[in-house]
Amino acid sequence: DIAPGAGNALDAIRGTRDFIAGAASETWGYSQEYLGPLLRFRRGRIANISVTNRLDEPITAHWHGMHVPGYLDGGPQLAFGPGETWAPELPIDHPAATLFYHSHIHGRTGPQVYRGLAGMIIIDDPGIKDPLPHDYGVNDFPLIVQDRRFDRSGRMIYGLGMMDRMHGFRGDQILVNGVVRPKLTVPAGLVRLRILNASNARVYDFRFTDGRQFHQVASDGGLLDRPLAMASLQLDGAERAEIVVDFSDRSPVSLVSRDIGMGGMMNGGMMGDGGGSMMMGDRGMMGDRGRMGDRGMMMGMGGNSGTPLEIMSFDVGEAAPAGPTRLPTSLPSDAPALGDPVRRRDFTLNMHTRGMMRGGMMGGDGQMMGINGEPYVMDRIDETIRAGETELWRINTDMMMRHTFHVHGTSFRVVRQNGRPVDSARIGWKDVVRVQGPTEILLRFDKLASEETPFMYHCHILEHEDVGMMGQFTVT
């Protein structure tokens, strides 16, 4: 842990870790061999951080989800090279939430995050009384979930074949906090789990093996209005959810995920609304892994495997000495009204045909995806936005697959998905949203970003971001 407000030094370093016994994988981390320490900040304070690059290529440190101005945001323009230090002073002006930090180098975010340049941030708000379990490491646990691929000798690998470039890189082994399928001992009673999907591309559909209900209490940007009961939870890349699970029955249980293969990544565009998961679901059209293979032919139309992926298991110990024994009916969520939009902007996530012609798709490192037909260019500003004005952004894709859309610098409300209004309150404050059809979000920016250090919007499938599915904007 890093104490809020202190001088906090992070060193990006190389390391090795035996994810699989007896096989040392080469890893990177911020001050540790793999991933970075939990950063814990308090609203209203200033966090002085200094990040030193002890690797041999440029990196950044982006505070994903945090409301800070562009020059502190750690986007691609804020790269620092080997031997250099970046020391931002971050004013913590964000509701209590679970956030994400990671490197954000244009064209190299996928491999750098995969190697380990990522971590979790927790924001505490001294202005609210947290009615949920919040004793860190006792009844409040971070779960950084990632999928990785290992070679025959057990070493972690990252290499992009054509299917990985198209659909994002997926592994078949799951790590939680850098450990393959860990076992966690939790106290009998209510336990809060802060889940971050820090995978490059994989989508999870979490549930417990005994089918028990749990409650979601927070999404990307902070607490929901009230706990939401559910038995399964879907998280796309970079999404966060805090859940509270009742372990008072003391029975051991595992957390698993439906294995959403590429079939589950197809969107509704051609299959009808929501067709992706409906028609290509577990026993969908294209059959299971056995027949088609997870990296199926035909543009990756392999379906989902019927076997759930094992994430981790829980053993239940003694009851926690303190902590709430029941869930509150409402939560102290931060809900500034956005009002009516004064402007609408449209974004289409698509292939970039000129890039494909240049051979990007077949193995070159050219830009082959874009937004509104243009791949990301580091010195082009795509949108100019006025601070304090509420806007409606309509995001869609003309590709036959599911994407996500992430916006820097603010949190937003999702108001319509696939042509239907959705209950924004149940979804909460977001900074990443799944895009399987027309998706409308309402947002307003209070933090500024200049042309030198603009904010980004992009697909958070990191392999898509790396090949150009990103744009940038100023807020003045």
Chain residues binding Cu ion by CB under 5 A are 64, 403, 408, 459, 461, 464
Query: Which does residue 403 touch among Cu ion, ligand C2O, none (CB within 5 to 8 A, set by kind)?
Result: Cu ion
Contact predicate 262/239, CB 8 Å:
no
How far is 37 from 15, CA to CA, in rounded Å? 15
How far is 109 from 103, CA to CA, in rounded Å? 6
Between 406 and 434, CB nearer to ligand C2O: 406
Q: Determine, following the binding rule CB under 6 A, whether residue 167 of this chain makes contact with ligand C2O.
A: no
Contact predicate 4/96, CB 8 Å:
no
H or E stretch covering 298: helix 297-300
Query: Which does residue 435 touch among Cu ion, ligand C2O, none (CB within 5 to 8 A, set by kind)?
Result: none
DSSP string, 182-201: -EEEEEESEEEEEEEE--SS
Contact predicate 120/87, CB 8 Å:
no
Burial 246-278 (b: 16+ CB within 10 A, else e): bbeeeeebbbbbbbbbbbbbbbbbebeeebbbe
Q: Determine, following the binding rule CB under 6 A, whether residue 407 of this chain makes contact with ligand C2O.
A: no
Between 119 and 178, CB nearer to ligand C2O: 119
Stretch that binds ligand C2O, among 23-31, 184-192, 328-336, 452-460 (CB under 6 A): 452-460
Touching ligand C2O, residues 91-130 (CB under 6 A): 100, 102, 104
As measured in angstroms, the least distance from the Cβ of 202 to ligand C2O is 15
Query: Which does residue 458 touch among Cu ion, ligand C2O, none (CB within 5 to 8 A, set by kind)?
Result: ligand C2O
Residue among 456, 459, 469, 475 that touches ligand C2O (CB under 6 A) = 456
As measured in angstroms, the least distance from the Cβ of 470 to ligand C2O is 8
Query: Which does residue 106 touch among Cu ion, ligand C2O, none (CB within 5 to 8 A, set by kind)?
Result: none
Q: Determine, following the binding rule CB under 6 A, whether residue 395 of this chain makes contact with ligand C2O.
A: no
Contact predicate 281/287, CB 8 Å:
no
Between 76 and 264, CB nearer to ligand C2O: 76
Query: Which does residue 464 touch among Cu ion, ligand C2O, none (CB within 5 to 8 A, set by kind)?
Result: Cu ion
Query: Which does residue 203 touch among Cu ion, ligand C2O, none (CB within 5 to 8 A, set by kind)?
Result: none
Query: Which does residue 102 touch among Cu ion, ligand C2O, none (CB within 5 to 8 A, set by kind)?
Result: ligand C2O
Residue type, 190: L
Nearest-CA neighbor of 105 among 475, 472, 469, 465? 465
How far is 344 from 428, CA to CA, in rounded Å? 21
The alpha carbon dihedral of 229, 230, 236, 241 has a sign of positive
How far is 144 from 198, CA to CA, in rounded Å? 6
How far is 459 from 335, CA to CA, in rounded Å? 26
As measured in angstroms, the least distance from the Cβ of 450 to ligand C2O is 17
As measured in angstroms, the least distance from the Cβ of 420 to ligand C2O is 27
The binding site for ligand C2O (CB under 6 A) comprises 62, 64, 100, 102, 104, 238, 406, 408, 456, 458, 460
